[in-house]
Amino acid sequence: MDVSTTGLRVLRQIAESGSFTAAATRLGYTQSAVSRQAAALERGAGTILFERRPDGVRLTPAGLTLLRHAHTVLASLAAAERELTGAASSTEVVRLGVFLSAGAAILPASLAHLAAASPQITVTTSEGTTPSLTRALRAGSLDLAVLTSRPPHRPFDGDAPRLRVETVADTELLVAAASAGQFAGRTAVHVDELLEAAWIATPSSSTEPMLGAWPGLPGRPRIVHSARDWLTKLHLVARGFGVTTVPARLAPLLPAGVSLLRVDGAPPEVRRLLVARLPGRPAPSVTAVTRAILSAT
């Protein structure tokens, strides 16, 4: 089999991004260059590695097999480069991905626990949605990720083998509204009252869910503002420009002027936070980070 390291990096980025276009953007290539690298990889491997679908690109079983070996090859090359340049360090680095709203709620406390227990471990973090973090785990770009799921808590993807997960905590989804607005002085709102509400939500796509509108709303939500940043959402709420959903765990971090409301007339929306990693024996540093996250909640 004749494949290049550039091709392996492209393979990893396609697996993480879920599309040729997104992979090209992250790598700084043109889409045609990524397509050529993908075609060269398939020629070199002598088999189909990519499944082109309406919602993006998925790796075939053969592609997943090559990706697994690409992790080893690229990690070995990175280690060799560090040794050759004298950049090798005794510090252990763990790459942690965090679900969008989980970072503020659990990341600072988790890192404080880790610093006290294992100061030799350095954690680098990145934020994303559960689908994007799942792809990053599969691609080997992350060692560990804090993800979220909703009942009935199905596997995060259909790839094999399944990710190894540990439950961190369950938290209820609530609605954040302006304290001095339409719902002033209340602790609950009926779901029917939310039908005409102005919602502040994260933009969605074919591969990413919309976050911020009540999932059980009996109708299409009226999105008036789109924002990924939670601080932006909550300050828009505080000024009365709309409402958004918030995990109950974020209650201590709300800015002034924001109140949380329970939703009546609809089943509770419970979200589960989990720590996920690839199967297999984890490195001691990954185990230590997992333990710190569990201890901080």
The pLDDT score that the predictor gives to residue 103 is 77
Q: How far apart are CA 60 and CA 65, in angstroms?
A: 9
The pLDDT score that the predictor gives to residue 218 is 84
Q: What is the DSSP letter of 206?
A: S
Q: How far apart are CA 258 and CA 181, in angstroms?
A: 10
Q: What structural domains does the chain harbor?
A: 5-84 (1.10.10.10), 92-168+272-295 (3.40.190.10), 170-269 (3.40.190.10)
Both structure tokens of 40: 């060269």
Q: What angle do CA 134, 140, 146 make, to 5 degrees?
A: 40
Which positions ≥6 away from 135 have C-beta within 8 Å? 15, 16, 17, 18, 157
Q: How far apart are CA 120 and CA 21, in angstroms?
A: 38
Q: How far apart are CA 132 and CA 56, in angstroms?
A: 12
* Residue 124: strand, helix, or coil: strand
Q: What is the DSSP letter of 191?
A: G
The pLDDT score that the predictor gives to residue 80 is 82
Phi, psi of 121 (to 5 degrees): -100, 130
Contact 7, 40 (CB under 8 A): yes
Q: What is the pLDDT along the chain (297 residues), one digit of tens a residue?
A: 788 889 999 998 898 888 898 888 888 899 899 999 999 999 999 999 999 888 788 888 898 889 888 888 888 887 787 778 776 555 788 999 998 777 777 888 899 989 988 888 999 998 888 888 998 898 888 999 999 998 888 888 887 788 999 999 999 999 999 999 889 999 999 999 999 999 999 877 656 667 889 988 888 899 999 988 888 999 999 999 999 999 998 888 899 999 999 999 999 999 999 999 998 899 999 999 999 999 887
Cα R_g (the chain), whole angstroms: 21
Beta pairing partners, 148: 273
